[in-house]
Amino acid sequence: MSAVADTHAQDHHHHGPAKGFSRWLLTTNHKDIGTMYLIFSFAMFLLGGTMAMVIRAELFQPGLQIVEPEFFNQMTTMHGLIMVFGAVMPAFVGLANWMLPLMIGAPDMALPRMNNWSFWLLPCAFLILVSTLFMSGGAPNFGWTFYAPLSTTYGPPSTTFFIFAVHIMGISSIMGAINVIATILNLRAPGMTLMKMPLFVWTWLITAFLLIAVMPVLAGVVTMMLMDINFGTSFFDASGGGDPVLFQHVFWFFGHPEVYIMILPAFGAVSHIIPAFSRKPLFGYASMVYAVGAIALLSFVVWAHHMFTVGIPIAGQLFFMYATMLIAVPTGVKVFNWVATMFRGALSFEAPMLFAVAFVILFTIGGFSGLMLAIAPADFQYHDTYFVVAHFHYVLVPGAIFGIFASAYFWLPKWTGHMYDETLAKTHFWLSFIGMNLAFFPMHFLGLAGMPRRIPDYALQFADFNMVSSIGAFMFGATQLLFLLIVVKCVKGGEKAAAKPWDGAEGLEWTLPSPPPYHSFTTPPEVK
């Protein structure tokens, strides 16, 4: 028995990856799975981005030109859902798969078969979700927040498929999170205590706990919807004694931690990149860890800041306002730490650093508008206007997406063994940076001037900034094809990358050759 197991293990080590499609379908290798997650998420980013282009094309000028309102609502809904669940979350899981074992000195993820399963559920979920576009009655059209009863009593027939897709995504995320926790807690190299873990590992550990805490809540709320739609219950139907506001409480109990799920891993990655290109250790490592912990805990008690106008009692209103404002403190600490890391370093600005610096600046702007939104009386004016759209795109696009781009450029040499084309990458950065600000900054003005969100047509006083915004959006959208080109070029060839291509970088991942062997650390490294 043991002899058989031995030869099998030997086989595995010498032969490397299987050939052909079964390599990808059956793989349990963290790098292959990571790659698949990243490719999948980029495909979803392009799909969700295409929908954003449809939205921006319709909003280019007043009047209805390109799409009808029903289809417009399907576009905003699918854009939001695909970006959140298809682009951002899987990208971070892909980065986790690739980098966690390399960073903690492990051979692979702790639960490799589950890893395979949690990836392959995703394409299934999104196939179902996207297929709703072709169903009679159209795709979900009630916003990514799918408030009842618009999504239950008044939803299109495809809503049941949407619910099924959300369930599958949820299972995938929970399994991914369990895997991350098991890997980090069990497979760290000897000597790597918790407080010596790289920050990307720390932020992912906390993110994984958030996922496990809130994905079941999401599953709960969509199940209640399913019952209302198909089995005659009235959880959210007022005419049957139900409560539409209950929906919002449950949804946002999931939804607010969800927004931190989309940003915490980016915090971690940026905390590697800024020190590397500042050639100086991260300022305030311990306070960074505590800040992330504090943000994660607070994120459970602020959900009703999305509901200031639904008429919750004043005591609740005040509690959620104060709690939300409090989040600014640990978030501020993080920003100050990044700036202090850059202060008196020896800075250079390769593409990962450019994206990371833009991350800090633009995320902070999103944080400022977040603080403004937290002031409940003022939120009565901001709520559900383009000011909110501006706010969350400032935290999601230069936050989550720029964090992902920064990570991709930072670790591409490690992944592929080649350097990417720096000139093209810098072009990608500058076009994205300009396009993004042109697209989203004017949305602040639109919101303050009174333009509601989720409308296919608008009054004439909003015309000029909408046009500017659309031009910026087209520019940002088109630029992302450049990223595809850069990555393909880098995978195919290019200057050979050293084991540690960035002179200021720190961490176990740089002790392996580029690209690393198929099985990462077969003997655990020693951490002093």
What is the nearest approach in angstroms of other proteins to the Cβ of residue 425? Answer: 18
Query: Which residue is catalytic, options 108, 237, 350, 509?
Result: 108
29, 334, 451 from 267: Cα distances, Å: 26, 8, 32
Please choose which of other proteins, Cu ion, ligand HEM, none residue 124 contacts, taking the beta carbon within 5 to 8 angstroms, the exact cut-off set by kind: none
Residue from 167, 188, 256, 383 touching Cu ion (CB under 5 A): that is 256
**One-letter-per-residue 3-state SS of 362-423:** HHHHHHHHHHHHHCHHHHHHHCCEHHHHHHHHHHHHHHHHHHHHHHHHHHHHHHHCECCCHH
Query: Which residue is catalytic, options 30, 56, 188, 334?
Result: 334
Q: Which is nearer to Cu ion, 323 or 408 (CB)?
A: 323
Residue 519 appears among annotated catalytic residues: no
Residue 108 appears among annotated catalytic residues: yes
Q: Which residues neighbour 134 within 8 Å (Cβ) at sequence distance 6 or greater?
A: none
Q: Which is nearer to other proteins, 42 or 247 (CB)?
A: 247
Q: Which stretch binds Cu ion (CB under 5 A): 122-130, 255-263, 389-397, 467-475?
A: 255-263
Amino acid in position 322: Y
Q: Which residues neighbour 455 within 8 Å (Cβ) at sequence distance 6 or greater?
A: none
Residue from 269, 389, 425, 438 touching ligand HEM (CB under 6 A): that is 389
Residue from 62, 112, 143, 507 touching ligand HEM (CB under 6 A): that is 143
Contact set for ligand HEM, span 424-443 (CB under 6 A): 439
Query: Which residue is catalytic, options 31, 167, 188, 256?
Result: 256
Phi-psi map region of 241: left, alpha, beta (phi>0 left; psi -120 to 50 alpha): left
Residue 383 appears among annotated catalytic residues: no
Does the protein bind ligand HEM through residue 477 (CB under 6 A)? yes
Q: Which residue's beta carbon is nearest to the bound ligand HEM?
A: 80
What is the nearest approach in angstroms of other proteins to the Cβ of residue 380? Answer: 5
Q: Which is nearer to Cu ion, 73 or 470 (CB)?
A: 73
What is the nearest approach in angstroms of ligand HEM to the Cβ of residue 56? Answer: 5
What is the nearest approach in angstroms of other proteins to the Cβ of residue 128? Answer: 20
CA distance 30 to 101: 8
Task: Sort 347 into a burial class: Cβ within 10 Å, 0-12 / 13-18 / 19+.
Answer: middle
> Helix, strand or coil for residue 143?
coil
One character per residue 21-60, x = contact with ligand HEM (rule: CB under 6 A): ----------------------------x--x--xx----
Q: Which stretch binds ligand HEM (CB under 6 A): 84-92, 350-358, 369-377, 513-521?
A: 84-92
What is the nearest approach in angstroms of other proteins to the Cβ of residue 279? Answer: 4
Q: Which stretch binds ligand HEM (CB under 6 A): 284-292, 328-336, 346-354, 472-480?
A: 472-480
Is residue 383 within 8 Å of residue 390, measured between CB atoms?
no
Residue 258 appears among annotated catalytic residues: yes
What is the nearest approach in angstroms of other proteins to the Cβ of residue 421? Answer: 20
Cα within 13 Å of Cα(359), Cβ side: 30
Name the token pair of 21: 């499609």
Residue 70 appears among annotated catalytic residues: no
DSSP tag of 461: G
Residue 249 appears among annotated catalytic residues: no
Residue 510 appears among annotated catalytic residues: no
Identify which of 280, 259, 261, 258 has the alpha carbon closest to the alpha carbon of residue 271.
Answer: 280
Query: Which residue is catalytic, options 228, 258, 350, 379?
Result: 258
> What are the DSSP calls for 19-61, one per residue?
PSHHHHHH---HHHHHHHHHHHHHHHHHHHHHHHHHHHHHTTS
Does the protein bind Cu ion through residue 418 (CB under 5 A)? no
DSSP tag of 452: B
Is residue 346 within 8 Å of residue 278, measured between CB atoms?
yes
Residue 331 appears among annotated catalytic residues: yes
Q: Which residues neighbour 193 within 8 Å (Cβ) at sequence distance 6 or greater?
A: none
Q: Which residues neighbour 311 within 8 Å (Cβ) at sequence distance 6 or greater?
A: none
CA distance 159 to 165: 10
What is the nearest approach in angstroms of ligand HEM to the Cβ of residue 364? Answer: 18
Contact set for ligand HEM, span 144-203 (CB under 6 A): 144-145
Please choose which of Cu ion, other proteins, ligand HEM, none residue 345 contacts, taking the beta carbon within 5 to 8 angstroms, the exact cut-off set by kind: other proteins
Name the token pair of 69: 């309102």
Does the protein bind ligand HEM through residue 476 (CB under 6 A)? yes
CA distance 430 to 314: 46
Query: Which residue is catalytic, options 118, 159, 271, 479?
Result: 271
DSSP tag of 87: I
Please choose which of ligand HEM, other proteins, Cu ion, none residue 256 contacts, taking the beta carbon within 5 to 8 angstroms, the exact cut-off set by kind: Cu ion
Does the protein bind ligand HEM through residue 362 (CB under 6 A)? no
Name the packing angle between helices 30-58 and 69-81 (round to 10°).
Answer: 150
Contact set for ligand HEM, span 391-420 (CB under 6 A): 393, 396-397, 400-401
What is the nearest approach in angstroms of ligand HEM to the Cβ of residue 206? Answer: 19
One character per residue 86-105, x = contact with ligand HEM (rule: CB under 6 A): -xx-----------------
CA distance 77 to 180: 30
How distant is the alpha carbon of residue 465 from its chain centre?
Answer: 28
Binding site for Cu ion (CB under 5 A): 256
Which residues are part of the catalytic machinery? 79, 108, 144, 172-173, 256, 258, 260, 271, 305-306, 331, 334, 453
Binding site for ligand HEM (CB under 6 A): 49, 52, 55-56, 76-77, 79-80, 83-84, 87-88, 143-145, 389, 393, 396-397, 400-401, 439, 453-454, 473, 476-477
